[in-house]
């Protein structure tokens, strides 16, 4: 375990270097700069000027060198004798002169007569000690003081590492949170993750039990999932349940440091963790240091690599039986260096997925625990309307709802508050001041009703929950919200096609009614294209290619950017099929709108007047005077508010008004 000795050694070495440099500077000053300065203050005069000054009695001391004669005035002599304070030495009248040597035999006698001191050697200053102090001790002391001040301020910038001279001993308080105060009860849903973590809690409670039987628990577990799903919360809950200290640091904190500091920080973290064992060490965003090392040799990020290597060394080095458990979180597991995932390191992987309907309802309830609720609250409805929302977003929805209640001067939260805050979280706040022209509002009305009508007239799409043309801060000028009735896991090919048709419904309505189109459909277009492409390349729903993966998803949890894994020729065919799918669905949507032109006009006018209509109102108008109305109502569809879902109509129309 080299790490223990390594820590303190490093700063000592640094200190030595530093003092070495100070010494060097001082020597240089004394050897080069001082004489040069002294040389400057010597004025060269002719020999007869010397004689003249000598006659006038201005010369107080003379020194003979092999090649020159130096002499000086009374003031200098006094200074040399220590009778004058040093600060006067610089003044004008304190001059040392020199002149060439002249064969002058009676000079000695004349000097003697005049009582002038003369020598072969320049008389040393009165106090050699003083000289020593000024030339050596003071400069060195000064450097030491400056060094201390600099290192302190440097340490401060590095996030309170304390004294830079003692890097190895930075204070525990930065990471440690002795009691997190969180328990598994604070984490709603995530039952599998909790189950997997319970073993770790048990181990921390009773390491001896595991040691006795010879079992070794994994040193580390990797929490993997999309942002905001409660990974940090789970790690805290483990520490809370086990009543052990919680050391937390984010991967990015390691990398922002100076070269070598990341590795030092890792060493430091583990040293402290070892001292406080049993404990939890939580490393958030581990991907920032744990990224795959590219074997390209010319790596632009030595610092990161060094930090990662140090982390691996530490993980191998420490004794798992002591009770230090390392939890790390990431939402880009695919980018992690394989070395991190080897046995003895983060060999246990705990998925922390987006909550399902049950999970969402549970999370809403957990966060509503301390919120005063009205009697009309229906968490189930909110849960259904928030498919795809993360725990963090759900927590936010509850809080937004409570804030809205306060704004409206109520003492409790109503269902309307929560419904509005769902929309705030999805699409931003209402923009009441947005100056959307009447003409644009009309276009938006038709666009949204177009979506809704196409959705409602197809058998396999989620019921319309709400249509609104109130602009939102996200730039949406309106949107149609579809909410499925239950949990949803699979999508059939037919449903996928219908979804594309629904997405094209907005643009189709614009074209049908106004014979001109706007930029308002950009988001619809993007989503329709994405889905059509995925059907072909990932879901095997293309008759042309069948069950062949033509794309890989690079990032499972973050937006899922993909890359094609096929020949350029195939890629071209895929593009063609994407175009053809979207075109077909657009034609289908257009046909639906043409068949229901009267309803389209009627509902759009109603929406324009009301600005927001509910799914029931929509269906009522749609079904009025229709015989086959019940057809749709009989096909209850599972949840999933289609992300088009709430289609945000961004685009130039929005930009013009903002």
Ligand X SMILES: Nc1ncnc2c1ncn2[C@@H]1O[C@H](COP(=O)(O)OP(=O)(O)OP(=O)(O)O)[C@@H](O)[C@H]1O
Q: Does 170 bind ligand X (CB under 6 A)?
A: no
Residue nearest to Zn ion as judged by C-beta position:
506
Among 168, 333, 391, 506, binds ligand X (CB under 6 A): 391
Q: Measuring CA to CA, which residue among 569, 510, 193 is closest to residue 349?
A: 193
Q: Does 401 bind ligand X (CB under 6 A)?
A: no
Size of the site for ligand X (CB under 6 A): 19
Binding residues for Zn(2+): 447, 451, 524
Contact assessment for residue 527 and residue 196, using Cβ atoms and an 8 Å cutoff:
no
Q: What is the distance between the terminal CA atoms of the chain, rounded to a whole angstrom?
A: 61
Q: Measuring CA to CA, which residue among 114, 115, 104 is closest to residue 64?
A: 104
**How far is Cα of residue 348 from the mean position of the Cα atoms in its chain?**
25
User: For residues 228 and 401, which CB has a smaller minimum distance to ligand X in the complex?
Assistant: 228
Cα(526)–Cα(503) distance, integer angstroms: 9
Question: What string marks each residue from 173 to 202 as x (binds ligand X by CB under 6 A) or -?
Answer: --------------xxxx------------
Q: Does 604 bind ligand X (CB under 6 A)?
A: no
* Coil, helix or strand at residue 353: coil
Residue nearest to ligand X as judged by C-beta position:
391
Q: Does 421 bind ligand X (CB under 6 A)?
A: no
Work out the widest C-alpha separation in the chain, in whole angstroms: 143
Among 42, 96, 371, 392, binds ligand X (CB under 6 A): 392
Binding residues: 225-232, 447, 451, 524
Pairing of strands 246-250, 220-224: unpaired
For 189, how many CA atoms within 13 A lie in the half-sphere containing its CB?
24
b/e sequence 360-371, b meaning 16+ C-beta within 10 Å: bbbbbbbbbeee
Q: Does 280 bind ligand X (CB under 6 A)?
A: no
Among 189, 230, 647, 651, binds Zn ion (CB under 5 A): 647
Give min distance, CB of 242 to Zn ion, in A. 50
Binding-site partner at residue 463 among ligand X, Zn ion, none, CB < 5 to 8 Å by type: none
The pair of three-digit structure tokens given for residue 142, joined into one six-digit string: 């000064």
Q: Is 448 a catalytic residue?
A: yes
For Cα atoms 369, 372, 375, give the angle at the middle one, nearest 5 degrees: 105
- Considering only 47-55, 387-395, 448-456, 647-655, which stretch makes contact with ligand X by CB under 6 A? 387-395
User: For residues 288 and 482, which CB has a smaller minimum distance to Zn ion in the complex?
Assistant: 482
* Strand partners of residue 552: 563
Q: Does 351 bind ligand X (CB under 6 A)?
A: no
Our CA dihedral for 518, 522, 524, 529, rounded to 10 degrees, sits at 120
Q: Does 229 bind ligand X (CB under 6 A)?
A: yes
Pairing of strands 246-250, 279-284: parallel
Cα(70)–Cα(62) distance, integer angstroms: 6
Give min distance, CB of 581 to Zn ion, in A. 18
Contact assessment for residue 466 and residue 481, using Cβ atoms and an 8 Å cutoff:
yes
Phi, psi of 163 (to 5 degrees): -75, 130
Cα(212)–Cα(356) distance, integer angstroms: 40
Q: Does 249 bind ligand X (CB under 6 A)?
A: no
* Coil, helix or strand at residue 546: coil
Binding-site partner at residue 651 among Zn ion, ligand X, none, CB < 5 to 8 Å by type: none
Q: Does 639 bind Zn ion (CB under 5 A)?
A: no
Among 393, 495, 577, 649, binds Zn ion (CB under 5 A): 649
Phi, psi of 259 (to 5 degrees): -55, 130
- Considering only 307-315, 506-514, 534-542, 618-626, which stretch makes contact with Zn ion by CB under 5 A? 506-514
Q: Does 645 bind Zn ion (CB under 5 A)?
A: no
Q: Does 506 bind Zn ion (CB under 5 A)?
A: yes
Among 524, 577, 639, 645, binds Zn ion (CB under 5 A): 524
User: For residues 424 and 578, which CB has a smaller minimum distance to ligand X in the complex?
Assistant: 424
The pair of three-digit structure tokens given for residue 547, joined into one six-digit string: 């069950």
- Considering only 119-127, 391-399, 517-525, 568-576, which stretch makes contact with ligand X by CB under 6 A? 391-399
Among 395, 452, 469, 653, binds ligand X (CB under 6 A): 395
The pair of three-digit structure tokens given for residue 308, joined into one six-digit string: 């990662």
Contact assessment for residue 234 and residue 187, using Cβ atoms and an 8 Å cutoff:
yes
Q: Measuring CA to CA, which residue among 229, 173, 196 is closest to residue 325?
A: 196
Q: Does 363 bind ligand X (CB under 6 A)?
A: yes
State the catalytic residue, choosing from 448, 510, 577, 639. 448
Q: Does 425 bind ligand X (CB under 6 A)?
A: no
User: For residues 71 and 479, which CB has a smaller minimum distance to Zn ion in the complex?
Assistant: 479
Q: Whose structure tokens read 């100056």?
A: 435
- Considering only 124-132, 223-231, 334-342, 443-451, which stretch makes contact with ligand X by CB under 6 A? 223-231
Distances from the Cα of 279 to the Cαs of 187, 340, 609, in angstroms? 20, 20, 61
Contact assessment for residue 68 and residue 99, using Cβ atoms and an 8 Å cutoff:
yes
Q: Does 284 bind ligand X (CB under 6 A)?
A: yes
Binding-site partner at residue 228 among Zn ion, ligand X, none, CB < 5 to 8 Å by type: ligand X
Give min distance, CB of 176 to Zn ion, in A. 50
Q: Does 331 bind ligand X (CB under 6 A)?
A: yes
Give min distance, CB of 231 to ligand X, in A. 3
Active site residues: 448
Positions in the binding site for Zn ion (CB under 5 A): 506, 524, 647, 649
Positions in the binding site for ligand X (CB under 6 A): 187-190, 227-233, 284, 329, 331, 363, 366, 391-392, 395
């Amino acid at each position: 375990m080299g790490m223990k000795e390594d820590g303190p050694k490093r700063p000592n070495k640094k200190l030595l270097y530093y003092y070495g440099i100070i010494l060097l500077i001082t020597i240089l000053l004394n050897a080069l700069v001082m004489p040069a300065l002294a040389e400057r203050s010597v004025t060269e005069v002719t020999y007869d000027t010397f004689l003249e000054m000598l006659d006038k009695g201005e010369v107080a001391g003379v020194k003979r060198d092999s090649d020159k004669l130096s002499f000086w005035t009374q003031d200098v002599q006094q200074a040399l004798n220590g009778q004058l304070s040093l600060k006067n030495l610089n003044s004008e009248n304190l001059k040392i002169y020199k002149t060439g040597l002249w064969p002058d035999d009676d000079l000695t006698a004349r000097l003697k007569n005049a009582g002038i001191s003369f020598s072969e050697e320049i008389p040393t200053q009165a106090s050699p000690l003083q000289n020593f102090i000024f030339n050596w001790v003071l400069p060195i002391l000064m450097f030491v003081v400056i060094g201390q001040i600099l290192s302190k301020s440097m340490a401060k910038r590095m996030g309170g590492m304390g004294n830079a001279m003692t890097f190895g001993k930075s204070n525990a308080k930065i990471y440690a949170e002795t009691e997190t105060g969180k328990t598994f009860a604070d984490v709603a849903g995530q039952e599998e993750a909790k189950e997997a973590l319970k073993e770790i809690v048990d181990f921390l409670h009773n390491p001896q039990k595991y040691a006795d039987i010879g079992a070794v628990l994994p040193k580390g577990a990797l929490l993997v999932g999309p942002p905001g799903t409660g990974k940090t919360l789970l790690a805290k809950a483990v520490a809370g349940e086990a009543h052990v200290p919680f050391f937390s640091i984010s991967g990015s904190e390691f990398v922002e440091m100076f070269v070598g500091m990341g590795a030092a920080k890792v060493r430091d973290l583990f040293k402290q963790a070892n001292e406080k064992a049993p404990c939890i060490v939580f490393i958030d965003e581990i991907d920032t240091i744990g990224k795959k090392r590219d074997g390209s040799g010319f790596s632009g990020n030595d610092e990161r690599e060094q930090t990662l290597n140090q982390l691996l060394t530490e993980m191998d080095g420490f004794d798992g039986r002591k009770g230090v458990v390392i939890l790390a979180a990431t939402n880009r597991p695919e980018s992690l260096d394989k070395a991190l995932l080897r046995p003895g390191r983060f060999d246990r992987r705990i998925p922390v997925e987006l909550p399902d309907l049950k999970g969402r309802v549970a999370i809403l309830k957990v966060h509503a625990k301390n919120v005063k609720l009205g009697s009309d609250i229906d968490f189930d409805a909110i849960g259904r309307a928030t498919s795809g929302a993360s725990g963090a977003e759900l927590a936010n929805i509850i809080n937004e709802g409570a804030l809205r209640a306060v704004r409206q001067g109520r003492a409790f939260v109503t269902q309307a508050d929560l419904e509005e805050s769902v929309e705030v979280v999805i699409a931003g706040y209402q923009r009441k001041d947005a100056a959307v022209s009447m003409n644009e509002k009309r276009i938006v009305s038709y666009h949204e009703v177009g979506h809704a009508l196409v959705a409602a007239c197809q058998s396999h799409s989620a019921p319309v929950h709400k249509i609104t043309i109130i602009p939102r801060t996200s730039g949406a000028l309106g949107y149609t919200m579809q909410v499925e009735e239950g949990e949803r896991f699979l999508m059939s090919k037919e449903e996928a096609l219908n979804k594309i048709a629904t997405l094209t419904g907005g643009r189709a309505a614009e074209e049908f009614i106004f014979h001109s189109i706007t930029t308002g459909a950009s988001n619809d277009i993007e989503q329709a294209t994405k889905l059509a492409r995925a059907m072909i390349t990932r879901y095997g729903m293309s008759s042309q290619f069948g069950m062949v993966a033509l794309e890989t998803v690079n990032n499972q949890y973050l937006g899922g950017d993909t890359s094609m894994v096929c020949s350029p020729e195939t890629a071209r065919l895929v593009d063609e099929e994407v175009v053809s799918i979207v075109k077909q669905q657009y034609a289908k949507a257009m046909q639906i709108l043409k068949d229901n032109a009267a309803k389209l006009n009627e509902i759009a006018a109603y929406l324009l007047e009301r600005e927001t209509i509910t799914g029931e109102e929509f269906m009522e108008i749609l079904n009025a005077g229709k015989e086959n109305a019940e057809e749709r109502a009989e096909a209850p569809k599972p949840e999933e508010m289609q992300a088009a879902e709430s289609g945000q109509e961004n685009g130039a129309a929005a930009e013009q008004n903002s």
